Every structure is written in structure tokens, then in C-alpha cells.
Structure 1
Amino acid sequence: MRFLWRTDEPLWLKTALWPLTAASWAYAVAASLRSPAVFRAPVPAISVGNVVAGGAGKTPVTLEIAGRLLERGRKTALLSRGYGRRGRGDLEVTAATPTDEAGDEPALLKKRLPEALVLVGPRRALLAARAVSQGAEVLVLDDGLQHLSLARDLDVVVMDASNPLGNGRRLPRGPLRERPSTAFRRAGKRGLLWLTRCDLPRDGRTDALVADAREAGLRGPVESAYATAAAIGKESAFLFAGIARPTSFEALVRSAGASVVGSRWFPDHHRYSSAGLTALRHAAATQGATRLLTTEKDLMRIPASEREAPPSIEAVPIDLRILSGEDALVSALDFALGARA
């Protein structure tokens, strides 16, 4: 749904999307009425989330924060809803857990941080209690900004500096889960603003959002960019992915020197079938590609047995680089960990 991220909607598109505009009003009313009972865990809780539905680059930020907590010697638990997984019950994710059961993001978190405890389930408060019973000393809520039933000591609000709000409309008409001002006020002094994709041209709305966040009491911003974690070579490549903002992935691959000869994009968390992968390989071969490149998250949804047939399917590992705001990040983590001291 590319229209979610357009900032220059023509009149015909606004007219065609009028039913979604009406639905977005209903969504906003329902969201405003939420007032769940709040559970406060006996250990520090840190939420990483965003005001839009996907596309902000939240998962690398979650990995960075959890990695820093582990480096400090803290037994860290990552709590996730496991969006798109087949199971509904609570589950501890291990290296052997099928991605369909864990969800692609929790499976990736466990792969990148094997020493962390990764739990998935529909109720984060129950996951928090389970994590503490298993020895967790700090909790990290993946995609937890709007999950109000678990009290937090730090709310990390992640925004894409190159396009922070898409078309600025509420779901399902636009990508907004809530207004930024609402999230900023709720986070207040226990908030940290984190801007991603700061190496790209800056959206004209970003500076105003930074000012609003600071006025609400948030620390930061931390400014970061993404880079490939390893050389990916210059051989011809066909790109595919099921993510919210595929154009940023393509830009990153091109900037790393790969020769991109074609691409195909799917909805976020797309499930790949054998027939679908065969069609992708055919499209790649037609364009003269010697390999197919995708994201790490997408590769988690493709069985190992489906990756090797020519042209091979490979993931582009991505690391996060902090450009500025290191002091704000350290201060925010110190604040969160000291809140229960």
C-alpha cells in the first residue's frame, strides 16, 4: 500500500480513499478509549516502538539496545507479539523454533542475539512475569509503544527522519497508529527520540517533530543510519522483500555497490511459497541476475532447502551506525536501569 507513504496525494487518490478516511476516524475513537489495567514488572522495562505501522526501522534499534544491555552484563529478555506467526499461545523462541511459530522478527532477534531470552505472546504483561521468573534482569518490548498494559521505565520512539509520518493520516487511511504529540506526552521524561535513515534527505516535518519531542521532555534525538554489515559484491542482483518500505532497502543495496537489474516487492511479513520462489527465480534469470538478494527478516521466512537452487537467495545483513546522540542514549539507558535501583 504505497499510498500510505505518499506526501503528495492527487485529488483522485484522496477521493478513491474516502472510505478509508472514514474508517480511520473510527480507529482513532477506538484507540482513544483504551484504558487497560497496568502491570509493573519488578525489573526495568524498556519499550522500542514507533507511531507508524512499519517502516521506521525499529528492529535494528531493538537489536542495538538489547545488545548494549547484554554488554553491560544484564540478563535481557525480548518480549514480542510475534506478528504474523501461526501460533497464538506464549512461546520461548530458541534457535530450533520454526519461523512460522515464532514470527520473523522474534526469530531474527534470537539469531542475532542468541544469549537473550526471546518470548512471544499476545499479552506482554504475562510475558514479563514469565521472563522475570526465568531470571531476566531487564525487559525490552519490541514494538511496544502502544502496548499500555505493561509499565515502562524508558520509551524509545523510533522515527524515520526521511519520511516520519507518511501521508500523515491515521490507520487504515495512513500509517499512523497515533499522533506523535500523543506518544510524546505519554513518554515525557522517560522517553528517548531515535531518528533512523539520517543519511538520506531530511523530511521537512522532522525538525518540528524533534522540537515537539524535546518540549514534551524526551531525550535525544539519537541519529542513526543503516549500512551493510559485510561486502555484498557487484554481481548482478534481483531484489525482493516483504517489508513496509522496500525502496529504502533498494537504495541501501545500490549504495553498497551491487548491480541491481530488477526487483519485486510484497506486503509486509509476506509468506513465500515454493511456486512463488520459482517465479522469482524465473524473473531474476530473465533479467540476467546471478543471485537474489533480500532482507534478513525475509530470509527467516524462507526454508533453507529453498535458498540454494540457482540463482541462490541471500540476505543482506544490515548494521546500525549511530551518527550523533550517543550521550543521550547512554543517559537514557542509565536512567532506565537506575529507576528500580
Structure 2
Amino acid sequence: MLLLSTVWQRLAYSPYPWLLPLYPLGWLFRIITTYRRRLYRSGRLNQIRFSCPVIVVGNITIGGTGKTPTVMWLAEFLSHHGYRPGVVSKGYKGAIEGPHLVEASDKPEAVGDEPLLMAQQLKCPVVVSKKRAKGIQFLRNELNVDIVLMDDGMQHYAVARDYEIAVLDGQRGLGNYQCLPAGPLREPASRLETVDWLISQGQSQKAKINFSLQPSGCIQIGNPLNTKPLGAFNGTVHAVAGIGNPQRFFDTLTAAGITIIQHAFADHHKFTADDFENIASECIIMTDKDAVKCAGFGLANAWRLSVVPHGLDTLGFELLNQLKG
């Protein structure tokens, strides 16, 4: 499964038409998604609108672009400026229907890895709900939030939004510009012209704002008081990543001068102790998102890389001006 996904992504993000036989299906997907959005915009399909601002953070490509760190940064920024934000997420691959207020002690298989990560690191409420409108109602009625961040909700048109922030991967861009399954796009590239802010992790001429995820050091899994800068790792390290673009994570470690052995897994991989059977006693570094799924495995020398967005201040203050206007 991982091999098939890896091969497909390499072809989809290539500028060459390797997936040409799938183009007709991609064109059909584009027609369907465009028509569906038009039905919501014209009022022929109902949108639920809320009395508080709803900010969608999403993308039009599959795979990781930096949405979750962006949501977390915005939540902290808005809290610092007097708002009471709450985050709503579908809880991808989580079993709970919701709405459910995510607790730091929840299991990732119940609520999803990204909502659990946010609940563990943010001071604002994080709610998972398969029906995101119900999640927003829960945040408003039960938790008294006054602004909602909807994680990965650009294509969820049943909920009206006040602002849209699209996050682009500056490294991979839009690939071959084809819609699924012929390419990586969930919607046609022209959709980016309709968002309020187009931001890019990494340099992109298309984006209004470019930002980066800077490593702030490593935290030992199972012992969060023990921290270590990246430069303190000597010898060979096992780099574990089950994210949309694991190569970006591997490149970050290599750029810090660390010699790594790569262990790439599918995005949202459900880790088990067996995945670490041969390396459990060796030094391991993994992403924040993967670490929440591996905390109970008793890994003796495992660390999670903490990253901080840099370059989003312009986005934050422009958003504040819009909210106050």
C-alpha cells in the first residue's frame, strides 16, 4: 500500500503526463466538484451559517502542506489578541462520531492523530465531529467560543465560512495540475483564486505569504521534561514519519547535520509496537503527529521533533484587521 501510494504521488507531482490514462477520470472529478460548489454558492444546497466568524484552513491538494501547524499558530495568535477560539476537526480515521471535546488523554484511534496533537498542545478547546456543523454548535453553545477554526474544511461546503486560508506546499506545488485520481488536486487550481489568503510552506510565487516550519528542538517521548536540540544528536538516528510528505521531515533532519535511516509510512499510519521491533532500543526521531500514536510503546530513546511556524505574522494581523472591520 505504501509503495503504491509513494509511486502514485511521485507521478502525480511530476510535471510530466505519466498519469495520462487517468486524465478523463480527473476531468470528471473536476466537473463534479465544481458543480457541487456552485450548488452551494447559488443556494440550491443549504449552507449552515453561524453567528461567530468561521475561518477555514485547508488546501486543494492531498498530502501534508502544514495545515495543522497553521491552525495551531492561529489559535494561539487569536487567544493572545483577546479572542476565545475553538478548533473543529472531522477527526480523520478517528472512530468517534462526535461532537466530542478532545482530551489530552484520549486515544488517537478514537479522535484522530491531528486533533489529539492540537488538544495536547493548545489551551483552547478542540472538538471532533463527523458533522462539522454540530461540532461548531457544540463549541458555541457549550464552550462559549467566539471564533472557530475549521481544520481541513475547504471542501466542506455545508458549513458557510467567513474566511478561507489555503495552505500550499511550496516544495511540491500543484504537481501536474490534474484532479484526482489523475493528479493531486481535490479541486481545480482556479479555486485558489477565490480564497482570502493563499499561504505557502516554502517559497512559492503563487502565494501571498510564504512561511516555514522551523525546528525548535526535540522532546523525549514519555518524558516531556527532557528536551534536546537537534545539534546534540550524534551517530545514526532512525527517522520515522507517517505523514503526507515524509521527505520534508527527513530533509529537515539531514539539514541539521544528522545522519538518518529513513522509515517512511503512509499518511495517518496506525502505528503498532511491531513497527519498532528492530529499532526499539535505538535512537528514534519522529514527527509530533506520529508521536501521539507511539507514546505507549515503551521506546527507550525516542524523540519528537517540535516545529514552530515562522513568517505568519502578516497573516495574523491582516486577519485581525478583517475581523475588526
Q: TM class by shorter-chain length?
A: 0.7 to 0.9
Residue number in structure 2 paired with 1:21: 23
Choose the corresponding residue for 1:61, options 70, 73, 79: 70
Aligned residue number for residue 199 of structure 2: 194
Q: Answer yes or no: is the 8 Å Cα contact 1:228–1:256 preserved in 2.
A: no
Q: Which moved more, 1:263-272 or 1:88-97?
A: 88-97
Alignment match, 1:269: 268
Measure, in 2, the Cα distance between the counterparts of 1:153 and 1:89.
24
Once the two structures are superposed, the pairs formed by residues 128-143 of structure 1 within 5 Å of their partners are 128-133=136-141, 134-143=143-152
Match of 2:296 in 1: 305
Query: Hey, what does 1:295 align to over in structure 2?
Result: 287
Q: Can you list the C-alpha shifts for 1:141-180, whole angstroms capped at 9, x where unaligned?
A: 1011111122222111111222221232211222111123
Q: How has the CA–CA distance of structure 1 residues 100 and 61 changed in structure 2, closer, same or farther, with 3 Å as cutoff?
A: same
Which residue of structure 2 aligns with residue 227 of structure 1?
A: 214
Partners of 1:89 and 1:110 lie apart in 2 by 15
Q: Distance in 1 between the 2:135 and 2:257 partners?
A: 42
Q: Provide TM-score, normalisation by structure 2.
A: 0.85
The within-5 A match list for 1:94-133 is 94-113=103-122, 115-133=123-141
RMSD after superposition? 2.1
Q: How does 1:8-87 map to 2 (within 5 A)?
A: 8=14, 13-14=18-19, 18=21, 20-34=22-36, 35=40, 36-87=45-96
**How far apart are 1:87 and its partner, in Å?**
2.5
Residue deviations 1:70-99, cap 9 Å, x none? 111211110101111122332110112111
Structure 2 unaligned regions, length at least 5: 218-228
Q: How many pairs were matched up?
A: 298
Quote how far apart the aligned CAs of 1:195 are: 1.4
Is 2:313 aligned against 1:320? no
Deviation at 1:244, TM superposition (A): 1.2
Contact 1:222/1:329 (CA < 8 Å) preserved in 2? no
Match for 2:149: what amino acid?
Answer: V
- 1:9 Cα deviation from its structure 2 partner: 6.2
Once residues 252 and 268 of structure 1 are traced to their aligned partners in structure 2, the CA distance between those partners, rounded to angstroms, is: 18
Work out whether residues 4 and 167 of structure 1, in 8 Å CA contact, stay in contact via their aligned partners in 2: no
Go from structure 1 to structure 2 and tell me whether the alpha carbon gap of 1:267 and 1:328 turns closer, same or farther (over 3 Å shift). closer
Distance 1:148 1:116 in 2: 25
Percent identical pairs in the alignment equals 25
Deviations 1:176-231 (A, max 9, x none): 1112312422x3xxx01211123xxxxxxx42x34xxxxxxxxxx22211111121
User: In the superposition, relative to structure 1, how do residues 329 and 238 fare at CA in structure 2: closer, same or farther (>3 Å)?
Assistant: same
Instruction: Show the counterpart of 1:244.
Output: 244
Which residue identity does 2:266 align to in structure 1?
A: P
Residue identity in the other structure for 1:4:
Q
Gaps of 5+ in 1: 199-205, 211-220
Three-state SS of the structure 2 residue aligned to 1:64 is helix
TM-score, normalised by the number of residues in structure 1: 0.81
After TM superposition, the runs of 4+ consecutive aligned structure 1 residues lying more than 3 A away are 5-11, 20-23, 325-329
The aligned counterpart of 2:254 is 254
- The residue aligned with 1:180 is 189
Higher mean C-alpha deviation, range 161-170 or range 77-86: 161-170
Q: CA deviation at 1:10?
A: 6.2
Question: 1:117 and 1:314 mapped to 2: Cα distance?
Answer: 26
Tell me the amino acid that sits aligned with residue 318 of structure 1. V
Shifted more, 48-57 versus 270-279: the winner is 270-279
State the partner residue of 2:225: none
Task: Give, as a single letter, the amino acid of the residue that structure 1 aligns with 2:29.
Answer: Y
| Cα distance between partner residues in 2 of 1:321 and 1:58 | 14
